[in-house]
């Protein structure tokens, strides 16, 4: 067992940290206030290779491992979780899904642009009546010979208005249940594909979340990913990798808040000394440091499993479950350590606290992670 990062991992960490400090930090409060999507920053992240971290360079990616991806996600999320969710969805739900399951023509047509940041991807599984219960898809994709006709509604879609390429999960044969579901590649602008209003959210307000409507959208047959009926399995496998990204995002949010709280506690004085010298604060810092490190171990373990070719359904669920809990609890503590200043936007911790909540909800709620983990334990 080796707990050290390689020289290459350290360089990647420094590059992501530097980008987050110099590029993401300056406008992060403004983007949160105004719900502004970071267009030019997404382009820059594409140039740095952050949008196709694990994709083979022959498809425009950076050819790095999942550990590098987790490191990048942690560093970006310390500063701007809105930017990092765009990175996570593009990498692990869209690019990974295409690289692992799409055919060569689909990869050439879509993956290369997505991995290099020339286009942005969205993953459309959730529906008004099918969030956690993902097998209950109401969106239909009826086989019409040379094309499918797609009808239905998708909810809470990250990058919903800004994406160029959408992976849409839909039910083709209701009688076959989860084995009658397919995954399709849709493009913005297809007739009948409408983008609903942007959601006004508690956190990750710089990301672009929309409802999508499909009214008789004709999707060519060659846009189906994989064999007929393989869409639910595709969604589940893809989400397992997505959960590594979101776990690393939660870790970054927690670590970012902790770093700010530690710094503040060494500067702020009360009762004649820096507040870190009071046990009430010092013990909070000790708990934060310990539990964030434990979350990091789980995130790295899940990423390592992926890199080794091991099954990572359970380890990614465990990492997401724990890291998101740590993010929620310790961002609240970071606000508490900041006192009144913690409630003020310029100190950043209130935003991190708001951003933390979604990590317990999207890409499978904490309750869903417990279903995955408990089923895994019982099966073993």
C-alpha span between 71 and 252 (Å, rounded): 9
What SS3 class is residue 127?
Answer: strand
C-beta separation of 87 from 51 below 8 A: yes
Q: Which residues form the interface with ligand CAA (CB under 6 A)?
A: 89, 93, 123, 125-126, 132, 134-135, 157-158, 178, 232-233, 236-237, 239-240, 313, 362-364, 368, 371-372
Q: How far is the CB of 279 from ligand CAA (least distance, A)?
A: 40
C-alpha span between 353 and 334 (Å, rounded): 8
Closer CB to ligand CAA, 85 or 334, in the complex? 85
Q: Which residues does 189 contact at the CB level (< 8 Å), separation at least 6?
A: none
Q: How far is the CB of 247 from ligand CAA (least distance, A)?
A: 13
Q: How far is the CB of 291 from ligand CAA (least distance, A)?
A: 24
Residues marked active site are found at 363
Closer CB to ligand CAA, 65 or 313, in the complex? 313
* 3-state SS record for 222-247: HHEECCCCCHHHHHHHHHHHHHHHHH
Distances (CA, A) of 280 to 144, 162, 175, 283, 337: 66, 45, 59, 6, 9
C-alpha span between 108 and 158 (Å, rounded): 24
Closer CB to ligand CAA, 134 or 219, in the complex? 134
Closer CB to ligand CAA, 48 or 373, in the complex? 373
Q: How far is the CB of 51 from ligand CAA (least distance, A)?
A: 15
Q: How far is the CB of 272 from ligand CAA (least distance, A)?
A: 47
Closer CB to ligand CAA, 178 or 341, in the complex? 178
What SS3 class is residue 117?
Answer: coil
Closer CB to ligand CAA, 134 or 281, in the complex? 134
Q: Indicate the angle between helix axes 349-358 and 231-267, nearest 10 degrees.
A: 160
Q: What is the dihedral of CA 104, 169, 96, 358, to 10 degrees?
A: 160
Q: How far is the CB of 336 from ligand CAA (least distance, A)?
A: 28
C-alpha span between 135 and 132 (Å, rounded): 9
Closer CB to ligand CAA, 200 or 346, in the complex? 200
C-alpha span between 124 and 187 (Å, rounded): 12
C-alpha span between 51 and 222 (Å, rounded): 25
Burial (0-12, 13-18, 19+ Cβ within 10 Å), 366: middle
């Amino acid at each position: 067992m080796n707990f050290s990062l390689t020289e290459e991992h350290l360089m990647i960490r420094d590059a992501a940290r530097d980008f987050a400090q110099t590029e993401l930090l300056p406008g992060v409060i403004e983007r949160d206030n105004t719900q502004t999507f970071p267009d030019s920053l997404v382009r820059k992240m594409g140039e740095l290779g952050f949008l196709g971290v694990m994709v083979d360079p022959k498809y425009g990616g950076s050819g790095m491992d999942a550990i590098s991806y987790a490191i990048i996600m942690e560093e970006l999320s310390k500063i701007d979780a809105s930017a990092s969710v765009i990175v996570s969805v593009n990498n692990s739900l869209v690019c990974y899904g295409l690289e692992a399951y799409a055919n060569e023509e689909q990869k050439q047509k879509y993956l290369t642009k997505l991995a290099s940041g020339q286009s942005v991807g969205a993953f459309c599984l959730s529906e008004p009546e099918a969030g956690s219960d993902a097998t209950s898809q109401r969106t239909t994709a009826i086989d019409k010979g040379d094309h499918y006709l797609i009808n239905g509604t998708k909810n809470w879609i990250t990058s919903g208005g800004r994406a160029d390429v959408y992976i849409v999960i839909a039910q083709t044969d209701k009688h076959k249940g989860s084995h009658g579901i397919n995954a399709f590649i849709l493009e913005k602008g297809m007739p009948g594909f409408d983008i609903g209003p942007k959601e006004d959210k508690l956190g990750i307000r710089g990301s672009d979340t929309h409802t999508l409507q499909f009214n008789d959208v004709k999707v060519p047959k060659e846009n189906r990913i994989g064999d007929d009926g393989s869409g639910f399995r595709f969604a589940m496998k893809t989400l397992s990798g997505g959960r590594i990204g979101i776990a690393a995002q939660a870790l970054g949010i927690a670590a970012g808040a902790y770093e700010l709280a530690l710094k503040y506690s060494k500067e702020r004085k009360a009762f004649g000394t820096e507040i870190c010298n009071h046990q009430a604060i010092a013990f909070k810092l000790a708990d934060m440091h310990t539990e964030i490190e434990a979350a990091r171990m789980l995130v790295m373990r899940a990423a390592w499993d992926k890199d080794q070719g091991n099954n990572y359904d359970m380890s990614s669920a465990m990492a997401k479950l724990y890291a998101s809990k740590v993010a929620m609890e310790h961002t609240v503590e970071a606000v508490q350590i900041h006192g009144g200043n913690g409630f003020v936007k310029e100190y950043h911790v209130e935003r991190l606290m708001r951003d933390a909540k979604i990590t317990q909800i999207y890409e499978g709620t904490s309750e869903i992670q417990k279903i995955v983990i408990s089923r895994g334990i019982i099966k073993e």
